[in-house]
């Protein structure tokens, strides 16, 4: 039993290492068509660093998951069979299940620039949608639309 658990944990860690952990952000203000770059990293699955550059000003902060992109639970069932009499119970079954949130998870990011100005962002996305999007709002009330997509894998040095 212990060996099986150890193997399952090792497999989960190895598969987690293959997952995309960096995301490219495209940020567009609602008053122009200019697109600004950004990067978000997903180190723990529930939070990570984020950087957005707007007009030469770099905003840095952390995003934090507020609604998970999936949930797990335990389900049981019970059945009746028709044995020697009627209504003999033939058993119960149960198991752990995991379900994706079809709209993806939600996250909030609070970023600041060196001059003390701020940017507040709300995102939606997750594994089932392979990216996501959202909006950011600065201290002056400007709203920015945001697209998030997995960053391309780094080129291998062959």
Is residue 120 included in any domain, yes or no? yes
Mean pLDDT, the chain, rounded, equals 76
Classify residue 121: in a domain, yes or no: yes
Structure tokens at 42: 């997903």
Query: Tens digit of pLDDT for each residue in 51-69?
Result: 999 999 999 999 998 887 6
Spatial distance between the Cα atoms of 100 and 116, rounded to a whole number of angstroms: 38
Asked if residue 2 is part of any domain, the answer here is: no
CATH of the domain at 141: 2.40.128.120
33 falls within a domain: yes
b/e 17-50 (16+ beta carbons within 10 angstroms → b)? eeeebebebebebeeeeeebebebbbeeeeebeb
Is the model's pLDDT at 15 over the cut of 90?
A: no
pLDDT value of position 54: 97
Q: Would you say 59 and 119 are in contact if contact means Cβ atoms under 8 Å apart?
A: yes
Q: Report the alpha-carbon distance of residue 4 to residue 143 in Å, rounded.
A: 50
135: its two tokens: 């909006």
Establish if 12 belongs to a structural domain.
no
Residue range(s) defining the domain that contains residue 64: 20-69+104-150
**Is 56 a member of any domain?**
yes
Total-model pTM:
0.67
Is 4 domain-assigned? no
| 151 DSSP assignment | P
Count of the separate structural domains present in the chain: 1
């Amino acid at each position: 039993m212990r060996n099986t658990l150890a193997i399952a944990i090792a497999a989960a860690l190895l598969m987690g290492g293959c997952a995309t952990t960096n995301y490219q952000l495209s940020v567009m203000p609602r008053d122009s068509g200019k697109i600004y770059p950004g990067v978000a990293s997903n180190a723990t699955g529930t939070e990570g660093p984020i950087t957005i550059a707007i007009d030469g000003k770099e905003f840095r902060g952390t995003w934090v998951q507020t609604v998970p992109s999936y949930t797990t639970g335990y389900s049981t069932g019970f059945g009746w069979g028709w044995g020697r009499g009627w209504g003999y119970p033939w058993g119960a079954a149960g198991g752990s299940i995991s379900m994706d949130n079809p709209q993806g998870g939600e996250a909030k990011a609070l970023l600041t620039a060196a001059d003390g100005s701020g940017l507040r962002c709300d995102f939606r996305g997750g594994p089932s949608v392979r990216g996501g999007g959202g909006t950011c709002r600065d201290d002056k009330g400007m709203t920015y639309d945001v697209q998030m997509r997995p960053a391309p894998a780094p080129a291998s040095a062959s």
